[in-house]
Amino acid sequence: MSFSALSSYAVPAGYALFVWWFSTGVVIYLDNLPRRTHRWSMLGATVVLAVALHGLHAGRTDATPSGAYIAFTYGLLVWGWQEMSFFMGFLTGPVREPCPADCVGWHRFTRAVQICLYHELATVVSAAAVIAATAHGANQVGMWTYMVLWLMRLSAKLNVFLGVRNLSEEFIPEHLAFIRSFLRHRPMNALFPFSVTIPTIIAVLLVQRIAAPDTDAVTVVGQTLIAVLLILAIIEHWLLVLPLPATALWNWSVRARQQRRAAADAALAVGQSLRSGRFWEAGFPAHVPRLARVAVPASNHTAIGGDP
């Protein structure tokens, strides 16, 4: 295989991999910023959503390799709005409470649906909007991008509800902590084999189609983008049950929340020192004799909030 032929597969595959990884990290990062920033992030995302839907409609007849890349990106941006609206808490559901301990079976499932009902309805509306925007067009890459993300994420939600080894709870923002009570730790569940087998068969068929000698360049780019996205979603499913640190891929995106937690812990420690009257000891090196540390008059302890 020549270098040019190889690059015709490698470039769209690399693009799909990078955009998927980076866009996921950006969404996680924005979700974990302070709550006061969320309305502005969501406002910006809504503008991007409108641009993406318009771009999908305008480029529906652009049956070129560049048109496939653009449509793929727009499809990801539409899905990114869905993810942000849920994890920022704007579109969740009528139930925002932890799952009761005695809630099992069908009742547990109906309550789980109610914590994300508005989000699921929004994904259906967005799917209809994407289909309408790309209707009667030769370029359907954006539509299939959204469909793969939507259906595979729905599959992942069902699997974490039924039970998997790795729940990736680190990515759930604190204001959605109640969601963790609906997740279940199990080695595997009965749905999982179907969740990976069916998409794998589809991915193999896509790869065979891409590798066929009579496939044109536009189809190679478009279907490679979709195939890589599907393969990544399949890998994400496997990471739910394998003993691997999947969250390490996006540790950089949750660093803001970790820094806020560290600052909050430090403030709590100072507050406890103030209340206990031991504030003046906190800043002394270990080698300073204890008598020197307690030489501060007791009145000073009282003045800053310590016990008299």
> What one-letter code names the amino acid at 254?
V
Q: How far apart are CA 142 and CA 134, in angstroms?
A: 8
Q: How far apart are CA 131 and CA 57, in angstroms?
A: 9
Domain ranges of the chain: 3-244, 249-308
DSSP run (H or E) holding 26: helix 3-31
User: Which residue reads 């653009």 in tokens?
Assistant: 70
**Contact status, residue 49 vs residue 75, Cβ threshold 8 Å:** no
Give the pLDDT of residue 6.
Answer: 63
How big is the CA angle at 81 (ends 197 and 193), to the nearest 5 degrees? 10
Residue 185, classed as helix, strand or coil, is: strand
Classify burial at 280, counting beta carbons within 10 Å of its beta carbon; exposed 0-12, middle 13-18, buried 19 or more.
middle
**Contact status, residue 89 vs residue 159, Cβ threshold 8 Å:** no
DSSP state, 98? P
Give the pLDDT of residue 278.
Answer: 56
Give me the tens of pLDDT residue by residue for the chain, a chain 308 residues long.
555 556 778 999 999 999 999 998 899 889 888 899 999 999 999 999 999 999 999 999 999 999 999 999 999 999 999 999 999 999 999 999 998 888 888 999 999 999 999 999 999 999 999 999 999 999 999 999 999 999 999 999 999 999 999 887 878 888 898 999 998 989 999 999 999 999 999 999 999 999 998 889 899 999 999 999 999 999 999 999 988 766 666 776 666 565 655 555 565 666 666 666 554 444 545 554 544 444 444 444 444 344 43
Q: What is the chain's percent helix, strand, coil content, to nearest 5?
A: 75, 0, 25
Distances (CA, A) of 302 to 19, 267, 270, 288: 57, 19, 15, 23
Residue 111, classed as helix, strand or coil, is: helix
Which residues does 123 contact at the CB level (< 8 Å), separation at least 6? 82, 150, 154
DSSP secondary structure of 192-227: HHHHHHHHHHHHHHHHHHHHSTT--HHHHHHHHHHH
Q: How far apart are CA 41 and CA 48, in angstroms?
A: 11
For residue 164, the cross-strand partners are 185
How big is the CA angle at 33 (ends 268 and 124), to the nearest 5 degrees? 135
Distances (CA, A) of 34 to 79, 129, 246, 258, 265: 22, 31, 24, 12, 16
Reference 161, options 138, 182, 179; nearest CA is 182
Q: How far apart are CA 139 and CA 228, in angstroms?
A: 18
> What one-letter code names the amino acid at 177?
A
Question: Which tokens is 287 given?
Answer: 């080698």
DSSP run (H or E) holding 127: helix 117-134
